[in-house]
Chains A and B, each alone.
Chain A
Amino acid sequence: DGGITQSPKYLFRKEGQNVTLSCEQNLNHDAMYWYRQDPGQGLRLIYYSQIVNDFQKGDIAEGYSVSREKKESFPLTVTSAQKNPTAFYLCASSRSGHSQNIQYFGAGTRLSVL
């Protein structure tokens, strides 16, 4: 069953803590993306990666970090520098970074601050 798997589904962060959200895909897609969605808001791009060992900042990268050591995996770390981390985090992938390529989404992780 091909798809994008995000874990955990729900995550709680304490003040000053770094947390890592997992995103794995078995679609053999080159490009992967992280978005944040706040209530009543559209999706905002945090980071994206078009190829292994390379990634670029999106529109709201501050307080976040990523790595792309394997094609299948694109974990997102929400650092303590992100002061308002409560949101719905969505990972997506596409065959490549070409504009025609459709992005497919994982089921998301809901992050809350304790």
Chain B
Amino acid sequence: RKEVEQDPGPFNVPEGATVAFNCTYSNSASQSFFWYRQDCRKEPKLLMSVYSSGNEDGRFTAQLNRASQYISLLIRDSKLSDSATYLCAVNVVSGGTASKLTFGTGTRLQVTL
């Protein structure tokens, strides 16, 4: 089983729709969780960190479910500019203070008119 798994999509949604992605992780010792956005042929950029109590940033809501070991990203009122690949990343501390960020393969979102 992969350490971090995402549905690759693509998710094709009309403008204004609400769309949700999940990301499952296998290591129960995972400590930190992030969503990154990656545009075609560009570097990933942090979208938001995911906190235990859930957090919201404008149209974006991130949630963590430790019992079922997944994080989610909800995008409301989708815009054309939201079209991108969304990568989840999970951080596990190993070997003392060293930590490693493991990325999912990403979920591609295409918002259409």
Contacts and interface: CB of A to CB of B under 8 A. Distances in A.
Interface of A: 33, 35, 40-43, 45, 48, 50, 56, 58, 88, 90, 97-100, 102-108
B100 A102 contact: no
Contact of A107 (B31, B42, B97): B42
Contacts of A103: 46, 89, 101
Interface string B25-65: 00000011010000001111110010000000000000000
A77 B108 CA distance: 31
Contact of A43 (B31, B87, B97, B99): B87
Nearest to B88: A42
Is the interface on chain B under 10, 10 to 19, 20 to 34, or 35 or more residues? 20 to 34
The prevalent SS among residues of B at the interface is: strand
B99 A107 contact: no
B105 interface: yes
Contacts of B99: 97-99
B111 interface: no
Interface of B: 4, 8, 31-32, 34, 41-46, 49, 87, 89, 91-93, 95, 97-106
Contacts of B43: 90, 105-108
Contact of B104 (A42, A56, A99): A42
A29 B46 CA distance: 16
Contacts of A99: 31-32, 91-93, 99
A106 B106 CA distance: 18
